[in-house]
Structure 1
Amino acid sequence: MDSGMRHGDERREDGYPPGEALADAWDEHSRYVGFAAGLFGLGVLIGVVLFAAGYNLLEIIENLLGEGLFPDGIGEMGGLELARFLLVNNTQAFLLSIAGALTLGVLTAWAMVFNGIIVGNVAAIVTDNVGFDYILVGLLPHGVFELPALFIAAGVGFRLLYRFGERIYGTRDAIITKRYLYRTGLLVLVGWLLLVVAAFVEAFVTPALLEALFAERLEGMSAGP
């Protein structure tokens, strides 16, 4: 059993309050969440290095696929429509990171590294063109909710894979138990609710902040010398 767990899967026969279950879930998954965050950080570093080497990944992907990562007209969406679009897309990535356990963690790891590369590369490009303060305001308000949510999802995927390995080697009686599903389900729910908050912050708060703080700078850039 994982020494970080305060209670075993079937050790208690009494009730399992949600607060206690969520605390146990975090105890069980925290190091895997940290591992996911580390993979994302590695990706960010790679993205910045690629920018320094002269690579604009968004342009490269658009040339390869014939279309960009972001759909045309996204800038014309209203707040609620944009929030819905962001939530749907982030939920897909969220669920994919969990389901990546079925690929022995390869898909989960790739999702963390790839997303980090894109974020790092785009952040470096925007910083070079507009300034670090712009990218900080553009990413931080929703990123403090969105990134932990995605790390939680990846952590659940990695932990599920580890439990599978424990079962194979005979150190665990069952991969999934009722208590495991209950506490992990609560953690997944909290992660998804963070995505909901992130989507609305990105759709409503971030644009307002960028407009209020950087409108003059952007107008000056568009006007040219």
Structure 2
Amino acid sequence: MSDLRISHYLIISGFILIAGFGAGFALSTADPAFGESLLTMFEEMIAGQIMDDDPPILALLLFLNNLEACLVIFIGGAFLGILSIMIIGFNGVIIGAVLEIMRKESSDLVLLAAIVPHGIFELPAVVASGALGLMLGRAVKNEWTGGPDAAAEAWNLGKTFVRYIIPFVALAAVIEAFITPAVLQLVT
């Protein structure tokens, strides 16, 4: 797997996430009820269930939740990358919509403090998972058209996932559980 090749897919994956973010932000701006419903869904499905736990438990739950999301994005590539694209885009929509609603309720500094400390590891993990998923989709397509076995490429991509994505997700979870709350206390 060449650096140029993965760079190409990282750019595509990042663009999909940013496009989803822009769409979610715009939809939430145009119809605040849209953003409010996504914020409520996020709070009920994820944040409300884990955010009250002690930091070590919170870090573990955040790690497992985010690892699951990254794994689904990666494995979704087996469906010609379509599922990976949909999940990355939908995650972008949720992030954009929720941030637009939160932006109305707090300062930009608070938003940055809530996102940047762990986001510098979590968002690249999502983008890289998407890139690996798109590469997996390409391998499946190539096999269907007479190219090499997609399983061998899937194995190599899986090793890359384990080597890079898992540590980034783990680091992001620890930061989100232990450091982000302290940073938020400083700015609120």
TM-score (norm: length of structure 1)? 0.74
- 1:218 corresponds in structure 2 to none
1:13-52 deviation per Cα after TM superposition (whole angstroms, max 9, x unaligned): xxxxxxxxxxx45443221121111111011101111121
Query: Contact 2:32–2:101 (CA<8 Å) still a contact in 1?
Result: no
1:62–1:210 CA distance, 2 compared to 1 (3 A): closer
Deviation of the 1:202 alpha carbon: 0.5
- 1:43 corresponds in structure 2 to 20
Alignment length (residue pairs): 188
- 1:90 corresponds in structure 2 to 66
Query: Contact 2:136–2:157 (CA<8 Å) still a contact in 1?
Result: no
Question: 2:79 and 2:34 mapped to 1: Cα distance?
Answer: 26
Structure (1/2) with the larger helix percentage: 2
Q: Which runs of 5+ in 2 are unaligned?
A: none
- 1:131 corresponds in structure 2 to 107
> Sequence identity of aligned pairs in percent?
26
Deviation of the 1:86 alpha carbon: 0.5
- 1:150 corresponds in structure 2 to 126
Question: 2:109 and 2:40 mapped to 1: Cα distance?
Answer: 29
Question: 1:61 and 1:183 mapped to 2: Cα distance?
Answer: 32
Q: Which amino acid aligns with 1:207?
A: P
Which protein has the larger Cα radius of gyration, Structure 1 or Structure 2? 1
1:83-103 deviation per Cα after TM superposition (whole angstroms, max 9, x unaligned): 011001001101101111232
- 1:175 corresponds in structure 2 to 150
SS for the counterpart of 1:70 is helix
TM-score (norm: length of structure 2)? 0.88
Deviation of the 1:159 alpha carbon: 0.5
RMSD of Structure 2 on Structure 1 (CA): 2.4
Q: Which runs of 5+ in 1 are unaligned?
A: 1-23, 215-225
